[in-house]
Each structure stands twice: as C-alpha cells, then as structure tokens.
Chain A
Amino acid sequence: MRNWLKKNGAGYLFLLPWLIGTLIFTIIPIFTSLYLSFTNYNILNPAHFIGFQNYSRIFIDKKFITSLIVTFKFVLFSVPLQLSFALFIAILLNKGIAGLRIYRAVYYIPSLLGGSVAISILWRQIFNKEGLINGLLSKFGIKGINWIATPSTALYTLILLAVWQFGSSMLIFLSALKQVPIELYESAEIDGARGLRKFASITFPMITPIVFFNLIMQVINAFQSFNSAYIISGGNGGPLDSTLLYSLYLYQKGFSNFEMGYASALAWILLIIIGSVIGLIFATSKKWVYNQDE
C-alpha cells in the first residue's frame, strides 16, 4: 500500500477533482441514462421498468422520423459547405497577401458571435417578411417571402447561419496550410505543376489529416445543434416541424412533456447515430487521409 501510494499518489492527487467530477457528472449519468431509457420515468413518479417499449415507440413516432430527416438534411448541407468555404478562404489567405491579420479577423468574427442569442435574433430579422434580405430583393423588384415562416425555406436559413460560421475551421486550415513544407511546392514547380494541379497533388493530400479532424468535429457539432433552431423557430421547431432538429425534439420530450425515459432513449439513439456516422468516416479515412508515418 505504501509503495503504491509512493508510486501513484501524486498523480491521483492532481487527477482527483477531474476523477470525482467525471464520475459524478459523466460516468454515472451515462449508465443512469441507459437505465432510464428502459423506464417510463417522468420526474413526478418513480421509474418503472418497461423493457424496450420506448425504443419500439420511437420507430413508429412520426415526429422522430421528421426530426431525423431534418437533422440529416442540416448536417449534410451545412458541414460540407462550411468546410469548403473554410478551406477556400484559408487557401486565398495563405497566398502571402498583405493584411492577413485583418482579413482573418473579419472572417472569424461570425464564428465568435454566431452561437450567441444575439445573432439568432438578428437572423430571425434578416429573413423576416420585412427583413434585410427582402429589402435588398425589393430593390430588384422582387417581392420576397417570409423565409422563416415558410416550411420549404426555414431550414435553409439555419443552414446558412451554420455555414456563415466557417471561421474556426478556417483558422485550423490556415495553420495547417502554413505547415506544408515549402520544398514540396518548389520541386513541383520544377516539374512544371501549376495552380490547381499543385493543390490537388500537394496541398490537399498534405492537409487531409486536418480535413479529417475538422470533418469529425463539425459533424459532431452539427448533430447537436440547438440554439439557433430554438430561438429562430420560437422553441417549437416550426413551421410544420421543418426546423425540428433532433436536440430540439429531445428537449421537447424531456423538458416540456417530461417524458424523461423516452427522451433518454432518444439520446441513446442519437449516440448510436453519431457513433455510426463517425465510424463510417473513420472507415473511409484510410482511403483518403495521408498518414505521415507510413
């Protein structure tokens, strides 16, 4: 015992706050949540074990299917667009132009502020019937619709808001681009490679590990998106559930209807979905991510 303490004591002492907190606020809740997903817990009455009933209910729940489709649409549009813009602007900024710091700041500001309630309020305004977009359109004689109250367009305003915040991915791309060895370009130029060819055969392969990293992080983030959808739709995921992101539906079930067992089951389904998507990306990574150690 004394030997064990001597060897491990200091490590555990420094780790203790993390260890206690992770146990109480993460590890135990994970197992509790799994257990709750098999109960009908609603905070007022004690939990009753109901087997797989929550899960079998989920798969015939029309709102669940809707929120799943909305969420996948959101992820599939926002993540690739966001990363493309981030990479494109990072490449332009990496061409050794003057004023890099100012440009970088301007493109990062939307990411800095984008998650705030203030920006969701602004967005709600921009795409209103009498908002900024329609004001600009009217100058060309086009009469715009209320983009946020129209089911076919509401989700795209949220996607645009997510894409608008490409700044942090751009920062990461920018510092990755700076680390591509300059000699590679020099020898490619000797071989007569130019612009697009250089990008395709040097730049992109060299930064694929960072593309991979950004992709994983943004996919995880996008699946959990909540704030803007909640504020812009006024909390209900409308119109006609067209912006009912998964987090929003889970919030409604858990904290408006207090169906906490059901909401826990929804959380586990989401974990499985995100896990599978990430797993899929990992599985394809061998084909396109450049590994320096090989």
Chain B
Amino acid sequence: MKKSYRKIFIHIFIILFGIVMIYPLLWMLSSSFKFSQDIFTSKTFFPRVVTLENYIKGWQGMSGYTFGVFLLNSVFVSLMCILGNFFCCTMAAYAFAKLDFAFKKVYFAIMLGTLMLPFHVTLIPQYILFNKLHWIDTYLPFIVPKFLGGQGFFIFLLVQYMRTIPRELDDAAKIDGCGKIGIFIKLMLPLSLPAIISMAILTFLWTWNDFFSQLLYLNSIPKFTISIALRMFIDATSGSQWGSMFAMSIVSIIPLFLIFVFLQRYIVEGITAGAIKG
C-alpha cells in the first residue's frame, strides 16, 4: 500500500516538473499563433484567435529569399555531412575494430584525442586554409572534413558496435571467398546498420543546430542555413516582430522534432552507447 502512494507521488512530481521544463516551448508554440500585439499583453495561454499571420509574414524571409530556401540549404548541408560521415567513419571504424596494421594503437589514441580537443585550437589555421582555397561562402568547409576525417565521436561509436560482431562471421565469409572489402560491404555495413542510423541522425541534429562554423563561413543571403537566417532575422526585425520570429523558430525545429518522434530509439542508443560500453 505504502509503495503505491509513493509511486503516485513520483508521477505527480515528474509530471509537474516536466511541465515546467517544456512550458517555454509550449508557450512559444502558442505565441506563434497569436497576433503580434497580443503576445505579451494577452493574459491567457491559448490564443484568443488563432492566426497564421506570423507564419505567412515570417516565411517571406529576407531580400526576396524565403525560409524555404534556408531550410533547403540546411537539408543539403546536413545530408552531405551524413554522407561524408558514412563514408569516412564506417571505413575507419572497420579498420580499428577488425583489421591489424602497424601503429594502430597510435592512430586510435589520436582519434580519441581529437574527441577531447577544443575546437578553438584548429579553428584559425582551418579558417586560413579554407580562405586560401576560396572556400569561404561555400558549404565545402562543413562537408569536406566529414568525407576526409569524419567525426571522432562516430568512429568511436561504430568501433564499439563492430567489436560486438562475432569473429566467426568474418571467418565464415573469408572461407566463402570474401576479401576484406567484400566483408566490409556485405557483412559489416548491414550488421552495423543500427549504429549507422544513430550516426546519421546525430549528424543531422548537430549539423542542423550548428551555428558557430556556419556563422564563420557563410556570408551571402542565398547560401544561408536556417541557423544563420534566424540570427539575421533578429537583427533585421530588431525585436518588433516576435510573432514571426517565433513562427520561424518553430518551423526550424519541426524537422528535429519529427526525427525525434519517429527515431527516438536510435538517438537514445547513439548517446548512451559510447558512454556505457566504453
């Protein structure tokens, strides 16, 4: 009896605290459907009259480029980064997890080291390099380092995963006449699919939310990603149009939210795997 009282108490606490946690988000959502002049004056949480005014106004974007353009730019950059990480990280992870070669331990230590390295240390030389290559105001500074190098976090994640694939499977494939490339493509990639999906989703989330490097490298409006467009929006409207700013903020997080709803499992696994098995 006493146990069930305690459980009810826990439920109530978790629900109340959860509401406090997501209240700001709900408030932004409801405000985005209010008339601009009502957002701060209205006494109720729900809009008096639901209006799409903010969405229509906000969508127009700036200098003739709609938010559709910025969304597509972000989608493009994110997809290319996923492709790059897929190419580079799966290959490197296979080498680390299953193959033997000289200085493997040294390389692995370097890979772990890059995980901990503050981005500031490589920031300025990278900027100088990309500047010399005339890559400023293109997407290459985000994409090329994914194809060449990848992200250490994902290599580590995949190594952890591939190590759990039994050796006997490799051996069986070898007897069937598979070379190392064959084993990689026909065996490792399909068997690592859950970890690869986790990698793809987290790459998407991080690229989508990235602000710093996009701020650094993008400077013409047609190339803006959603992050940069939103930040320009604040400057351009100087705080007078909170309604459309909220509306476009909501639009910018819808893709993240959808991915989360449908693929939650892979996000949870991606985040916890490195910590728990490591």
Contacts and interface: CB of A to CB of B under 8 A. Distances in A.
A172 B271 CA distance: 7
Given A26-B117, A172-B272, A250-B120, A18 B256 contact: no
Given A115-B209, A116-B256, A231-B234, A213 B91 contact: no
A17 B209 contact: no
Contacts of A27: 110
B245 A121 contact: yes
Contacts of B208: 116
Contacts of B99: 10-11, 14
Contacts of A93: 14
A116 B272 CA distance: 21
Query: Of A18, A43, A116, which is in contact with the most chain B CB atoms at under 10 Å from its CB?
Result: A18
Given A130-B40, A213-B278, A214-B275, A24 B148 contact: yes
Majority secondary structure, B binding face: helix
B100 interface: yes
A220 interface: yes
Interface string A206-234: 00001001100000100110110011001
Contacts of A125: 28, 242, 246
A80 B147 CA distance: 36
A210 B28 CA distance: 34
A263 B124 contact: yes
Contact of A22 (B126, B149, B267): B149
A239 interface: no
Contact of B107 (A15, A223, A266): A15
A15 B145 contact: no
B101 A26 contact: no
Contacts of A172: 271-272, 275-276
Contact of B148 (A20, A43, A116): A20
Given A15-B107, A255-B216, A26 B122 contact: yes
Interface string B259-278: 01000100110011001101
Contacts, number: 263
B122 A254 contact: no
A168 to B, nearest CB: 5
A267 B123 contact: yes
A247 interface: yes
B18 A106 contact: yes
A83 interface: no
A30 B121 contact: yes
B10 interface: yes
Contacts of A16: 91
Contact of B118 (A19, A24, A223, A264): A223
A15 B209 contact: no
B75 interface: no
Given A43-B128, A122-B24, A92 B260 contact: no
B83 to A, nearest CB: 12
Interface stretch (B46-54, B165-173, B189-197, B247-255): B247-255
A124 B238 CA distance: 12
Given A15-B101, A106-B18, A112-B205, A227 B121 contact: no
Contacts of B235: 234
Interface stretch (A51-59, A185-193, A268-276): A268-276
B104 interface: yes
Nearest to B230: A117
Nearest to A123: B24
Interface string B210-248: 011001100000000011001100110000001001101
9 contacts: A18-B88, A22-B114, A25-B145, A25-B148, A30-B117, A118-B250, A135-B40, A247-B212, A254-B123
Interface of A: 4, 7-8, 10-12, 14-22, 24-30, 32-33, 36, 43, 89, 92-93, 95, 97, 99, 101, 103-110, 112-113, 115-119, 121-126, 130-132, 135, 164, 168, 171-172, 174-176, 179, 210, 213-214, 220, 223-224, 226-227, 230-231, 234, 247, 250-251, 254-255, 260, 263-264, 266-268, 270-271, 274, 278
Given A36-B124, A92-B13, 15 more contacts: A10-B95, A11-B99, A14-B91, A99-B11, A110-B25, A112-B257, A113-B25, A115-B209, A117-B227, A117-B230, A121-B245, A172-B276, A210-B275, A224-B118, A224-B120
The 7 closest A-B pairs by CB, nearest first: A21-B149, A11-B101, A21-B148, A118-B249, A29-B125, A32-B125, A18-B92
